[in-house]
Amino acid sequence: MPLRKPPLRNHHDERGATFTEFGGWDMPVEFDSIKEEHLSVRDSVGIFDVSHMGEIEVSGPDAEQLMQRLTTNDVTQLSAGDSQYSMITDEDGNIIDDTVVYRLPDDDEADYLFIPNAGHGEQMHDRWKQFRNEWELDAEIRNATDDYAMYAVQGPDAADAVGEATEESVTDLSKFEAMYATVAGVRCWIARTGYTGEDGFELICPWDDAETVWDAFDCQPCGLGSRDTLRTEMGFLLSGQDFNHENDPRNPYEAKVSFTVKLDTEFVGRDALERAKEEGVEETFVGFQLIDRGVPRHGYDITNTDDTIIGTVTSGTMSPTLSEPIGLGYVPTDYADPGTVIRVMVRGRSKKAKIESTPFLNDK
């Protein structure tokens, strides 16, 4: 199947980006240097093209009920212009996808917008329709992934950059608040959200206006490479790696995102998650730092000091901020306390590591 191209594929190519396949999309992985891009976001500001993320609009009298029953967080807490991080779980409480749910303004055509991960848009669209029909709810679901471009402007100077680019004042938005604002004459949905651990904004604009909005920002373009190192330093989950519904199903308690689970709401997987909470989990998501030299990578075995395999590295990199090799993965809860010494098999060699609390950056 040919890779889907974000609207600025050629624009990024002319800028000298290199590309990678991600979730079925041909996305820029690096513009200048992953390290340079990473440090721009930690020190000043960078802009990411994340148009590979899905967009699903949900509208109608039962939109709220449908959203409530298919996501783990409590959507009734959202006022117009609010958003929340949430999980989409199966009957067993395992994570199918993570998402941000936006409650749109009352005069909008749709009531909710949610953002599935790259390559999950169609699956979520089908899931929402299937359950709507099963539950006989009155709601319309639209897969709008091809209608919108999405950018993330992230870093300590993001508010200045977005403030300068918008006609309306968006810098008063609190974390997870959103509004419509105009960038270079284009109406954008702008939210104070992001996945780097820095202050920042995500902008959703019409696909056809993608270049106008991108060009309104004069800051370091960043690819998926630095997005990955930034989120790894924060201990944030990457869909398909840190949870993988097909190959390594994990529930939100194992994945350390229990704050997204509101058991006093009704949703698919609730009963299973109530049991998981009562019984506790056997394995849990941890961060670790390699003490020996080497770089941990996705798929490497984690062992205990007796060389027994106890887990797998789900994400790993050399942290550009810390200049230390860091990783994420699942281990038995007995090994989860910070300071616990474990080992990681790096290309056939056992390397000493220790469990660290996340985020890896102390000031985040």
The Cα 319–Cα 232 span in angstroms is 8
Closest distance between another protein and the C-beta of residue 36, in Å? Answer: 8
User: Contact between 225 and another protein (CB under 8 A)?
Assistant: yes
Residue 34 or 41 having the CB closest to another protein: 34
Q: CA of 109: how far to CAs of 51, 140, 235, 240, 296, in Å?
A: 21, 11, 36, 32, 46
Residue 19 sits at φ, ψ, to 5 deg, of -125, 160
User: Which strand ranges, in their side-by-side order, compose the sheet holding 56-59?
Assistant: 83-89, 95-103, 112-115, 56-59, 140-143
Residue 225 or 240 having the CB closest to another protein: 225
One of 317, 321, 345, 358 touching another protein (CB under 8 A)? 317
The Cα 21–Cα 3 span in angstroms is 7
Return all residues near 33 (Cβ < 8 A) that are at least 6 apart.
none
Residue type, 299: G
Closest distance between another protein and the C-beta of residue 6, in Å? Answer: 19
x/- site string to another protein, residues 258 to 297, per CB under 8 A?
-----------------------------------xxx-x
Closest distance between another protein and the C-beta of residue 297, in Å? Answer: 7
Residue 36 or 248 having the CB closest to another protein: 36
One of 28, 240, 325, 329 touching another protein (CB under 8 A)? 325
Give the number of residues in contact with another protein, rule: CB under 8 A: 16
Nearest to residue 337, comparing CAs of 349, 321, 354?
A: 354
Residue 193 or 220 having the CB closest to another protein: 220
Residue 81 or 320 having the CB closest to another protein: 320
Give pairs for 164-171: CB < 8 Å, separation 24+.
Answer: 165/216, 165/217, 166/190, 170/201
One of 83, 86, 220, 229 touching another protein (CB under 8 A)? 229
User: Contact between 29 and another protein (CB under 8 A)?
Assistant: yes
x/- site string to another protein, residues 131 to 150, per CB under 8 A?
--------------------
Closest distance between another protein and the C-beta of residue 238, in Å? Answer: 14
Residue 226 or 303 having the CB closest to another protein: 226
One of 12, 22, 30, 41 touching another protein (CB under 8 A)? 30
User: Contact between 33 and another protein (CB under 8 A)?
Assistant: yes
Return all residues near 308 (Cβ < 8 A) that are at least 6 apart.
none
Q: What is the 8-class DSSP label of residue 166? A: B
The Cα 34–Cα 29 span in angstroms is 8
Q: Which of residues 337-356 bind another protein (CB under 8 A)?
A: 347
Helix 224-234 vs helix 34-43: crossing angle, to nearest 10: 50
Residue 29 or 162 having the CB closest to another protein: 29
Residue 269 or 296 having the CB closest to another protein: 296
Residue 119 or 225 having the CB closest to another protein: 225
Nearest to residue 166, comparing CAs of 198, 147, 193, 191?
A: 191
One of 34, 101, 173, 179 touching another protein (CB under 8 A)? 34
The Cα 54–Cα 127 span in angstroms is 14
Chain residues in the site for another protein (CB under 8 A): 29-30, 33-35, 225, 229, 293-295, 297, 317-318, 320, 325, 347
